[in-house]
Every structure is written in structure tokens, then in C-alpha cells.
Amino acid sequence: MKKSWKRNLLLTVAGTAALTAGCGAAGADSQVVQIDMVQYKMEAVDIFEELEEKFNATHDNIRLNIDSPNDAMTILKTRFIREDAPDIIGIGGEINYSSFLDSDMLMNLDDYEGLSTINESYLKIDKELEFVPKDGVYAVPYVANAAGVLYNKDLFEEHGWAVPTTWDEFTALCRQIQGEGVLPMFFGFKDTWNCLAPWNAISVDLAPSDVCSLVNKGETTFTEQYREVAERTLALLEFAQEDPFSYGYNDACTAFARGESAMFVIGSYAVPQIQSVNPDINIDTFVFPASNQAEENVLNSGIDLQFCVMADSPNKEAAYEVLDFLLQDENVQLYLDNQNAVPCKNGDFTLPGVLDGVASYIREGKMVDYQDHHYPTEMSVDAMIQTYLMDGNTDVFLEKFDREWQRYNRDLIIKVQNYEREQEKKVSEGGEEND
């Protein structure tokens, strides 16, 4: 690891939530290697306790310690600064991963054979999270989530409603549902983060997956790329309850669970809460058809959990053995069953029934990451979207998006554009030599 990592971390991760546990030191018995791992999914703590116990019962030469702390990102940040890093971290595929990668804190896993089992779509998603292109692979995607439109299958069957595949079909369906005295969608926009659900679902069809990178390079603007996304997100309010800004996420889950709306634009992560209100609800999912080209429909899916080995871990081979264990099909399935998750590994896995309608997209790798995984936390895009949906001024919103992006990404933009100039110079010099 470069000696400047601490300074880089403070520059790139400051203000963002970070992760954590102590660097893999040998145990009291020098024949036993201790692997310390910190993962951020508190809701999965029981699963990781089970996996830890199972691994240690079947391995004599390695002792695995998995820590699943509250606010793991903040704890990790602190430990990194103290130079007390774990061997392995379990984090999401989003801006924090980008920052760690940019600080040269993560090991290149190019030689890890388990990567050959991972769905290429998720490896691509990780590559698009790099601020500037890097040689190698620095994370093993483990599980993902999926977002689109949850719908009440019983209501659809009772009324004979067909799942839409285009934007025009979707809006026509919403009007049909309204005409039959049912609310099409219930939104919980009082919670600003909930405003990102339809935004992300719509943008995967209408905006380039690497739009943030293109903006950083100076090749486009959000005003150019996000106008249709913004307009169609705003258009959804016509089909929602009155004043969706007075209701939060919990309200939306409860309303959908009670059959008060036919659909809910949200991710699969909401299903456990919905089922806690109504265990018998019959739910399925369809991709949000944001365009009028059905063949362009893609599933909004991002990496919910992936594993990275720290660059300065002295226990690379043992860490790889831990990763091999976690990637065993039975252990992946254990996690899927418990968390309603999507596997990043290729294989014959049983998916949650609520994802039956999008299973073909997962099998075929027709998936695109959440746009907000690329947004800096400090920019508060969710609050910006909420304000926009309340006042409805698309031009003002897009202008602010571009302005705030430049404000919060100034150093990154300079870095990206310097990199691009260096690459152009290399190409030019290479061409001159060839001449």
C-alpha cells in the first residue's frame, strides 16, 4: 500500500460513512492464521455468526473472526486512520467503495479464481464505480438487490390488469387502475431517500449507466442526460395518493401491504417489512418500463454486499480460502433465503418468489446499477429530488444538479480530467512514434 494512503483516505472518504476490524495477525498458535473481517450488513449479523461458526468448525489452520458492528462504515474509517485494518471488508458497491479504491487501500484480486464464477454484469458495475480506470479487480461481488415495481398479484388477476412493458403501457395501466377505483401507487416521499426509488428505476432506462463519469470528463451535463428522467419521475405524482410528502417509507409499506395501492416502486429490500404487516400478500416484481422500447428494459440492480481484501493484509492465501468458503453455493443460498437477496455468483440458485417476474433479467445479466451509488453523500440528491417533486420546476432542478455536482466533486473532476489528458497525450505520442 502506498505510504500516502492515510492522507488520501482523509481527502476522499472525509464526510462519508466508512467501514471495519483489526489486521489479520497470527493467533497464539503460530500454525493458526487469524483472518479478521468486518462487514456492514447489521441485518445479516445472524447469518454471519452462523458462517463464522461453520468455517471455524471445518478449518484447523485458519481462525475466522467476523465483526458486524453498528455504523460499520464510521468504525472502519477510524480504524483505517489508526492503521488497524481488517484482512477482509464486506461493503456495498457504492461511493464508499470508490473512495477506498481511490486511496489504494484494496488488494488487486486478479489472481483469485473465484472471480470466474461471478456474473459479468456485477463485475462491470464495480468497474464503473472506479473514479479513474484501474487495472485489476478489487472486489468479489457477493449478493445484490433488485428494484422495480412491486405489484399485488391478486389485485392484478382480479381486475385482469396486464404487466406493462413500455412507458405508454405503464401510464395507460395507471389510468385504468384509477378508473376502477384503486390507487395505482403509494409513495413515502416524506423520507427523502424514498424519492430515489422511482428516480433510480427510471434512470436505468433513460440515462447512460456511466453518466456520472461522462459528466466528470466534461463530455456531457446532467441537464442533457436527466431531463426525461426528471420529467417522468414527476409524472408519477398523477398516479399517487394526495400529498405523498406527508407519508414516509413505513406508511408506504403498510399501505401497499393492506391493498391500498396496486403497485409500489421500491426494491426487494422492502418485502420483509411489507410481509410483517400482511404475511399472506401475493407479490411479484416487474422492471420499471421507463422507455417506449420494451427491448431496452433493464433491471435496476446494485451490489448490496461484496468482499475486498485489504492491500496490506499479510494473509492473502488464507483470505482467499475464506472467500472460497463464502462463495460455496450452500452458503450463498443461505444468505439469499435469509435476506431476499440476488446472487452475484452464477449458478442454479433459488431466488425469492417476489422476484419471479425479473428472474430472466438476472439470468441474462440485463442489469444496471443504481444511479445514486455514484452520488456523493454530501450532495443530498435525495433532498434535491424531493424539493423538485414538490415545486415541479424541471429547469431549476437540473441547473442545480449540475451546479451542486461541480461543487461537491471539484477535486475529483480535476483528477479525472487530468487523467484523460494524460491518456490522450500517451496516444498522441504513440502515434507520433509510429509515424
pLDDT in tens, 50-74: 999 999 999 999 999 999 988 888 8
Classify residue 215: in a domain, yes or no.
Answer: no
Classify residue 415: in a domain, yes or no.
Answer: no
From residue 370, give the alpha-carbon distance in Å to each of 87, 92, 134, 155, 207.
28, 12, 21, 29, 11
For residues 185 and 251, is the Cβ–Cβ distance under 8 A? Answer: no
Run of H or E including 190: none
As for how many domains the chain has, the answer is 1
Specify the pLDDT at position 30.
Answer: 60
Specify the pLDDT at position 23.
Answer: 44
Specify the pLDDT at position 243.
Answer: 96
Classify residue 168: in a domain, yes or no.
Answer: no
Classify residue 35: in a domain, yes or no.
Answer: yes
Q: Which residues contact 136 (CB under 8 A, 6 or more apart)?
A: 108, 109, 110
Classify residue 108: in a domain, yes or no.
Answer: yes
- Got the DSSP string for 149-163? EEEEHHHHHHHTPPP
Cα-Cα-Cα-Cα dihedral sign, residues 21, 23, 28, 30: positive
For residues 56 and 322, is the Cβ–Cβ distance under 8 A? Answer: no
Specify the pLDDT at position 325.
Answer: 98
Residue 221 above 90 pLDDT? yes
Specify the pLDDT at position 431.
Answer: 63
Which residues in 108-132 are b (16+ Cβ under 10 Å) and which e? ebeebeebeebbebbbebbebbebb
Q: Please provide the size of the chain in residues.
A: 435
Classify residue 99: in a domain, yes or no.
Answer: yes
pLDDT in tens, 369-384: 999 999 999 999 999 9
Specify the pLDDT at position 79.
Answer: 83
Average predicted confidence (pLDDT) for the chain: 91
Residue 26 above 90 pLDDT? no
- State the cell numbers at 355: 422476484
Specify the pLDDT at position 14.
Answer: 43
- pLDDT (mean) for 309-331: 97
Specify the pLDDT at position 6.
Answer: 44
Band (269; pLDDT cuts 50, 70, 90):
confident
Band (18; pLDDT cuts 50, 70, 90):
very low
From residue 328, give the alpha-carbon distance in Å to each of 55, 113, 121, 325.
11, 13, 20, 5
Classify residue 298: in a domain, yes or no.
Answer: no
- CATH number of domain containing 131: 3.40.190.10
- State the cell numbers at 339: 435476506
Domain that holds residue 57: 5-145+303-358
Classify residue 240: in a domain, yes or no.
Answer: no
- pLDDT (mean) for 395-424: 95
For residues 319 and 138, is the Cβ–Cβ distance under 8 A? Answer: no
Specify the pLDDT at position 77.
Answer: 81
Residue 59 one-letter amino acid: H
Residue 80 above 50 pLDDT? yes
For residues 114 and 324, is the Cβ–Cβ distance under 8 A? Answer: yes
Nearest to 40 by CA among 66, 5, 60, 3: 66
Q: Which residue has the cell 487495472?
A: 135
Q: How far apart are CA 368 and CA 124, in angstroms?
A: 9
Residue 368 above 60 pLDDT? yes
pLDDT in tens, 156-215: 999 999 999 999 999 999 999 999 999 999 999 999 999 999 999 999 999 999 999 999
